[in-house]
Structure 1
């Protein structure tokens, strides 16, 4: 594609004096649309969980299990494309997952299962916007987590955005809900989601350095799905949909939230500045708020909106600092 564009630019008599700029802008705009589409897909997770015919944990199980073969298919296609359709025995041996990494996949899958279980249940008690937002407080959990696990130094510059985040939490959860027990339960579950997702990211990062992303996500999804099914059975949730619509909703959940959203995001952020990508990611709670308002009549008070605004600023600030920007 780039070669064709450059060729056309050099032969066209109407080429602008800066031929690279329009194509660069056009290309970046395409990836911005991809990230925006990914955000909208990811925010749909709570919608499908709320209207699913099965329990929230069972919905998470199907989301992962249905996504696994799709991700595995992507992995096989990408591997064949990179090797020209053939691989030597040495190459296959080099990509074989070791026993140690298989155990890490199992651990990461369990962390991802805990993340999905808690997050999906939180949708039943709090608004889609709050649940999506609180689950995105991962930057404030990753730093101390890496300190305790790996001895990494906690950046002191993260203290100010962390204090701001605590203020946002106070406004959103304490002042905004008046400590309503049901609402508070949902918010606490969403916060716990961020902890387990941070643990999952730590494991996934190490695996990603040694294996292709879709292959690892396919394996993690299988472990996550099986674990979620077991938890759903223990909780006594309804596990089997009773109509074709119920199955279609679960397939749509897997395609939008697990495959399409994650794949579009992973592909597009590679071609965008991190600061711009981070801004788009913060649109997920806003998209969820829109879904909640239109589909479920979920209204946010001015105090809750203020708390959400403070948290969005703190998360964006923390991401900038952790990515090495002032």
Structure 2
């Protein structure tokens, strides 16, 4: 994801919590906003590197995703431990009562089953997304995986009977138009390119399913510890799929290992952490706009590193999709 990621990033989810810090003086918010905007831009550039690492990795695309999830697990556990050791004052400022309620919730058998299910959905997201990079451009793979808002709404309707937000009809129609321009007109139904775009679209479905499962778990249990467990399940599943597909799993050089470590550091440490922190201090509309710069950054990487050129028709489809996703995010977040 988002990208597909091991934590609800983004670019496809953390923006939903983006609000100015409560209680902060207006002057301090204004003075610090440029710093948080810089953080988001760095995060976007780091997250967009995911496809670059997949293309240059010594191991297969699914195996690369497996290592990303595996290396993310200790990072998330370290964040969880650090949060648990924060001062009482910091915990109180961040909602001590709610955190205590989550810590006191016991892990049930149903929760464990949901963790396994969520990890499998995350693995499906990561497997499909990483494979899509081999068939379509980095820009399209990043963009199509961001169509989660249009999938979450019908899922909530069928699973919980939530009222369908009919205000999404217009942005959804615009998104369909963008898909037609990008995938049908832009590629001329080239089988290889079309396969990559369809894989990226399927990525959005799996990530939406993952978010549905993960939401309830994070409401009842400490978020980073849950995400660490989900990432571990995801890594095991991805290794199994990589073995089934006959991919090369073990890097044969120091450079191969460094690339995998670099993927984990850029996407997880810098990308996810900076994004999750910075969007909380930015207005929703601004945060959503910055997050949608990820496909743009991916397009720049694809052009300079892999000579991936987009036609004017494809650029037009991308613009339509970016507008529709930004529109949908703002409508959904404004109704909360």
Tell me, yes or no, whether TM beats 0.5. Answer: yes
Q: Do the aligned partners of 1:69 and 1:218 also contact (CA within 8 Å) in 2?
A: yes
Q: Which residue does 2:154 correspond to in 1?
A: 144
Q: Which residue does 1:162 correspond to in 2?
A: 172
Task: Report deviation, 1:83.
Answer: 5.6
Q: Which residue does 2:108 correspond to in 1?
A: 98
Task: Report deviation, 1:158.
Answer: 0.6
Q: Do the aligned partners of 2:181 and 2:316 also contact (CA within 8 Å) in 1?
A: yes
Task: Report deviation, 1:25.
Answer: 2.1
Q: Does 1:119 align with 2:124?
A: no
Q: Which residue does 2:32 correspond to in 1?
A: 27
Q: Which residue does 2:264 correspond to in 1?
A: 254
What is the number of equivalent residue pairs in this alignment? 301
Q: Name the SS for the 1:81 alignment partner.
A: coil
Q: 1:202 to 1:102 in 2, by over 3 A?
A: same
TM-score (norm 1): 0.89
Q: 1:144 to 1:21 in 2, by over 3 A?
A: closer
Task: Report deviation, 1:23.
Answer: 3.3
Q: Does 1:222 align with 2:235?
A: no
Q: Do the aligned partners of 1:31 and 1:271 also contact (CA within 8 Å) in 2?
A: yes
Counterpart of 2:66 (choices 39, 61, 66) is: 61
Counterpart of 2:326 (choices 297, 316, 323) is: 316
Q: Do the aligned partners of 2:119 and 2:234 also contact (CA within 8 Å) in 1?
A: yes
Deviates more, 1:273-282 or 1:263-272: 263-272
Q: Which residue does 1:10 correspond to in 2?
A: none
Q: Do the aligned partners of 1:71 and 1:259 also contact (CA within 8 Å) in 2?
A: no
Q: Which residue does 2:43 correspond to in 1?
A: 38
Q: Do the aligned partners of 1:64 and 1:258 also contact (CA within 8 Å) in 2?
A: no
Aligned equivalents of 1:264, 1:97: Cα separation in 2: 29
Q: Do the aligned partners of 1:129 and 1:292 also contact (CA within 8 Å) in 2?
A: yes
Q: Name the SS for the 2:334 alignment partner.
A: coil
TM-score (norm 2): 0.86
Structure 2: gaps (5+ residues): 1-24, 90-99
* 4+ residue runs over 4 A deviation: 90-93
Q: Do the aligned partners of 1:173 and 1:184 also contact (CA within 8 Å) in 2?
A: yes
Deviates more, 1:234-243 or 1:269-278: 269-278
1:215-294 aligned within 5 A = 215-294=225-304
Q: Name the SS for the 1:312 alignment partner.
A: helix
